[in-house]
């Protein structure tokens, strides 16, 4: 196996090891020190690819998995995948280091935390390096599951469970839509490889399914990256521990949708639908997030909405940059390529300054016991290092120099100004909306950044409103945000080092049809007195005025009715669905087994007989039937008589024994039809179940002879006859409608195809391997569920005994 796959699967390997070594490790050191090895190793390993992709080269690795279905784990390393891989592993290293000091090894179930975190890390790495589109989807859904577990890590809290379920429902809904879009892409391109789809993009764009696939894929991207109106899950996900928020909701998971849009830009870009959906939804999300961030009184909620806003900024830039594909290798094409470059640049910058800010908020919460801005203030003198990091991160997010956010924000302003003059896709009428909305949203961004810094760290220090004695965080907790803060500053002074080795190769991966000239993407802090500079000055001036008058106008937010919010719509939809389901369920879940069987059998009869009538299925062919022997008739008579005994006996034991006799008669049919292995299986199953039934029912009272009213018997008779007639007609008609040769001819080649001398084993293990695997998985999950319930019950009993 190639060393790259070892690195790729390293998080999953450690996720398996951690639970077995947890008790041994945690007694001596924090489990995080053991887990820290994983992202650090991955990060150091990926560094070797930087000079390779900087020269324009790529690497492909293939690990055969299911060659017969053309499913191999194909990984592809280019500039875009490497950028995300470095962010996932680099920020992951800092987050785990931070978590060692944030999470107590005495009070927390750390093995669960790090198992979920490693699962997520491995899923994200698999996602960004996968070339096989279905493998990518598998990792995509694994990120949703692992993030659900991480958000609900403190599962004893109601809000944590609510936030985890909300994120899962929304992102999985988008994921299923995206899967449908992927299947359409596969049908259009006749390949599973994303790179081959890009190479055959002409066949896809002219296909009738193109727009449908585009919309479905974007649904997946928008839900994962919290774009409007699916952004409501992200604020509630802040119930997760701060290391989770710093990792998932600033640097990795929410960037998965950004990655997908960037990766599929060569396929869908150039169309008006792609431009308006990506750029339009992005700019609306930018405004929505910044507008709502101002009203928040919880620091993490403020950062959550700021994350929504910044993700909208990046998404809008990707949409604007897609115009480069439309204009091609022209002056306008190069101009709009710069917007894509700005998107990639801000994506990196956002991971640095937002990661540091989440860690700062975690430090404030850890040391003061609260994140409520109304109770905070004056922390600058008590926590000077934390204050410094907060200034660097917040001012970078506000787009002020000398921080990296200023550079990408100026490029963002240039992009929205360019799109206003693009003159295509109806931008002649609506293009001016982009710079206007972008500027207003940037003003709000400036205001909430000032709130974050000055409301928390300046003003009067009020220790009486805090639950803990405040002091500066331990140095170990400060290391990670300090490193991120240093990167924020260094990138401002040396941006082109990052641009040459990371950003330009990523741009080449997003726009492979463009000839990328490094000189066209030189990053500079000063471009002279231009429109972008005046927009920045306006943001600062108006932002300061709004911040100074904040108390006078922020109350206007409270006048907005809650009934018109997206959260209210979500809650009402969920509650309405639950109420509707409960009403329907109460109508048929009456506790009567007879009624349940009536519903099932009646539906079965109506569906099949209705299909037979409408599709003219009453066609029978008895010419190929085997002759019926006397022994066959005797067995059938035995089955019928035994069935009547089960119906009319007044003793449970007699009914059970007779029911077992029916099974033995059926097994004799298997023997007659030359299937001794099935007959033996049936004999064993009937024997075991009969004995178990006898053990259970031996101590129960005898059955009463009261069969019921006449209507009850008539209903049973009608349903029974209809069900029996339907099954018989179905069997006879199916035998007479053979369109293809029997599948048994295929199974007879089991030795040739699978090397198996036993056909039944070959069917279970080889031909129906997926079915068997899923059945084993279901049993394993059920077993784990039973084990967890038993463990929880024993723990509660122990706790109650200790209380007594």
**Residues 549-591: pLDDT tens digits?**
988 888 777 777 777 778 788 888 876 787 788 888 887 787 7
In angstroms, rounded to a whole number, what is the distance separating the alpha carbons of residues 760 and 767? 10
How confident is residue 63, by pLDDT bands cut at 50, 70 and 90? confident
Helix %, strand %, coil % for the chain, to 5? Answer: 75, 0, 20
> What's the rounded mean pLDDT across residues 263-267?
94
Q: Quick one: which of 138, 116, 146 has its CA closest to 19?
A: 116
- Mean pLDDT to the nearest integer, 667-696: 82
Tell me, what's the pLDDT at 421?
A: 85
Task: Quickly state the pLDDT bin for 610 (edges 50, 70, 90).
Answer: confident
Encode pLDDT of 131-165 as tens digits.
Answer: 999 999 999 999 999 999 999 988 888 888 899 99
> CA 275 → CA 592, 630, 720, 797, distances in Å?
57, 75, 60, 60
pLDDT value, residue 709: 41
pLDDT value for 347: 94
Highest average pLDDT, of 104-113, 370-379, 608-617, comes from 370-379
Q: How far is CA 517 from CA 337, 346, 348, 520, in A?
A: 11, 20, 21, 6
CB atoms within 10 A of CB 377: 17
Can you give the pLDDT at residue 529? 87
The contacts found for 103-110 with CB under 8 angstroms, 24 or more apart, are 103/32, 103/241, 103/243, 105/26, 105/30, 105/31, 110/22, 110/26, 110/30, 110/31, 110/32
Mean pLDDT, the chain, as a whole number?
A: 87
Mean pLDDT of 684-696: 83
pLDDT of residue 738: 67
Assess whether pLDDT exceeds 80 at residue 13.
Answer: yes
Alpha-carbon Rg of the chain, whole angstroms?
A: 32
User: What does the DSSP 8-state code read for residue 622?
Assistant: -
3-class SS string, 465-498: HCCCCCCCCCHHHHHHHHHHHHHHHHHHHCHHHH
Highest mean pLDDT among 7-11, 246-250, 637-641: 7-11
Residue 114: HSE in the Cβ half-sphere, 13 Å Cα cutoff: 36
The pLDDT of 329-358, averaged and rounded, is: 92
What pLDDT band is residue 708 in, cutting at 50, 70 and 90?
very low
Over range 87-93, report the average pLDDT.
94
pLDDT in tens, 757-799: 777 778 877 777 778 888 888 999 999 888 888 887 777 666 6
Contact 153, 112 (CB under 8 A): yes
Q: pTM here?
A: 0.80
Please name the helix (run of DSSP H) or strand (run of DSSP E) that holds residue 62, with its range, or none. Answer: strand 59-66
Q: Where are the domains of the chain?
A: 3-548, 556-589, 594-739, 745-804
Which residue in the block uniquely carries the two structure tokens 């299986």? 681
- Residue linked to tokens 């077992």: 660
Query: What Å distances lie between residue 135 and 65, 139, 198, 291, 720, CA to CA?
Result: 11, 6, 17, 38, 47
| pLDDT score at 799 | 65
Please state the rounded mean pLDDT for residues 6-27: 87
User: Residue 77: which of 174, 7, 181, 182 has the closest Cα?
Assistant: 7
pLDDT at 284: 95
Query: Is residue 752 over pLDDT 90?
Result: no
Give the pLDDT of residue 707: 42
| pLDDT given for residue 445 in this prediction | 95
Q: What are phi and psi of 748, to 5 degrees?
A: -65, -15
CATH architecture of the domain 594-739 equals Up-down Bundle (1.20)
pLDDT of residue 711 exceeding 60, the answer is: no
CA nearest to 198, candidates 425, 501, 424, 508:
508
pLDDT bin (cut points 50, 70, 90) of residue 396 is very high
């Amino acid at each position: 196996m190639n060393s790259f796959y070892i690195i790729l699967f390293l998080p999953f390997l450690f996720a398996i090891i951690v639970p077995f070594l947890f008790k041994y490790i945690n007694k001596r050191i924090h489990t995080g020190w053991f887990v820290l090895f994983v992202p650090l190793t991955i990060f150091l390993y990926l560094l070797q690819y930087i000079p390779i992709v900087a020269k324009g080269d790529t690497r492909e690795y293939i690990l055969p998995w299911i060659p017969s279905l053309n499913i191999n784990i194909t990984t592809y390393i280019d500039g875009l995948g490497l950028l995300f891989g470095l962010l996932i592993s680099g920020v992951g290293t800092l987050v785990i280091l931070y978590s060692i000091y944030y999470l107590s090894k005495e009070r927390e179930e750390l093995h669960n935390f790090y198992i979920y975190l490693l699962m997520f890390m491995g899923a994200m790495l698999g996602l960004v390096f996968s070339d096989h589109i279905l493998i990518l989807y598998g990792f995509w859904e694994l990120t949703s599951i692992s993030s659900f577990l991480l958000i609900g890590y403190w599962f004893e809290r109601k809000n944590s469970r609510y936030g985890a379920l909300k994120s899962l429902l929304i992102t999985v809904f988008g994921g299923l839509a995206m899967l449908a879009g992927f299947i359409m892409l596969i049908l259009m391109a006749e390949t599973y490889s994303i790179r081959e789809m890009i190479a055959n993009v002409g066949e896809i764009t002219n296909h009738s399914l193109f727009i449908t696939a585009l919309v479905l894929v974007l649904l997946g991207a928008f839900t994962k990256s919290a774009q409007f109106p699916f952004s409501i899950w992200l604020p509630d996900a802040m119930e997760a521990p701060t290391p989770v928020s710093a990792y998932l909701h600033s640097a990795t998971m929410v960037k998965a949708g950004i990655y997908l849009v960037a990766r599929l830009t060569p396929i869908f870009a150039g169309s008006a639908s792609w431009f308006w959906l990506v750029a339009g939804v992005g700019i609306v999300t930018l405004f929505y997030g910044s507008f709502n961030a101002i009203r928040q009184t919880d620091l993490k909620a403020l950062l959550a909405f700021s994350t929504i806003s910044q993700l909208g900024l990046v998404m809008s830039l990707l949409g604007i940059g897609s115009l480069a594909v439309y204009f091609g290798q022209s002056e306008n094409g190069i101009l709009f390529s710069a917007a894509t470059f700005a998107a990639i640049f801000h994506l990196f910058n956002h991971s640095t300054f937002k990661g540091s800010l989440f860690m700062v908020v975690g430090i404030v919460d850890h040391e003061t016991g609260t994140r409520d801005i109304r109770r905070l203030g004056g922390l600058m003198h008590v926590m000077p290092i934390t204050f410094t990091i907060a200034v660097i991160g917040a001012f970078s997010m506000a787009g002020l120099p000398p921080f990296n956010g200023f550079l990408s924000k100026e490029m963002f302003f240039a992009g929205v100004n360019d799109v206003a003059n693009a003159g295509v896709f109806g931008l002649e009428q609506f293009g001016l909306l982009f710079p206007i909305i972008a500027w207003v949203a940037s003003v709000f961004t400036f205001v909430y950044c000032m709130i974050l810094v000055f409301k928390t760290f300046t003003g009067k220090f009020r220790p009486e409103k805090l639950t803990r004695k405040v002091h500066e965080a331990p140095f170990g907790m400060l290391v990670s945000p300090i490193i991120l803060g240093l990167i924020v500053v260094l990138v401002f002074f040396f941006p082109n080092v990052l641009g040459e080795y990371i950003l330009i190769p990523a741009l080449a991966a997003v726009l492979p049809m463009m000839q990328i000239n490094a000189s066209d993407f030189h990053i500079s802090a000063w471009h002279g007195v231009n429109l972008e500079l005046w927009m920045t000055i306006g943001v600062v001036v108006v932002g300061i005025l709004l911040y100074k008058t904040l108390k006078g106008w922020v109350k206007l937010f409270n006048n907005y009715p809650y009934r018109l919010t997206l959260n209210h719509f979500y809650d009402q939809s969920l509650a309405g669905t639950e109420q509707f389901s409960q009403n329907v369920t109460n109508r048929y879940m009456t506790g009567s087994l007879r009624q349940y069987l009536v519903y099932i059998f009646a539906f079965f009869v109506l569906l099949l007989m209705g299909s037979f009538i409408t599709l003219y299925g009453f066609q029978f062919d008895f010419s190929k039937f085997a002759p019926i022997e006397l022994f066959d008739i005797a067995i059938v008579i035995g089955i019928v008589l035994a069935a009547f005994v089960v119906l009319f006996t007044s003793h449970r034991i007699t009914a059970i024994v007779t029911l077992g006799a029916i099974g033995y008669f059926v097994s004799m049919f298997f023997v007659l039809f030359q299937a001794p292995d099935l007959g033996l299986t049936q004999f064993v199953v009937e024997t075991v179940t009969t004995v178990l039934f006898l053990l259970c029912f031996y101590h129960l009272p005898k059955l009463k002879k009261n069969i019921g009213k006449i209507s009850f018997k008539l209903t049973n008779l009608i349903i029974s006859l209809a069900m029996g007639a339907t099954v018989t007609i179905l069997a006879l008609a199916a035998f007479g409608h053979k369109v293809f040769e029997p599948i048994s001819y295929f199974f007879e080649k089991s030795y040739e195809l699978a090397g198996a001398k036993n056909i039944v084993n070959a069917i279970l293990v080889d031909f129906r391997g997926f079915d068997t695997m899923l059945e084993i998985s279901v049993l394993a999950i059920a077993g784990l569920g039973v084990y967890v319930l038993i463990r929880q019950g024993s723990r509660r009993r122990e706790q109650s005994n200790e209380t007594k």
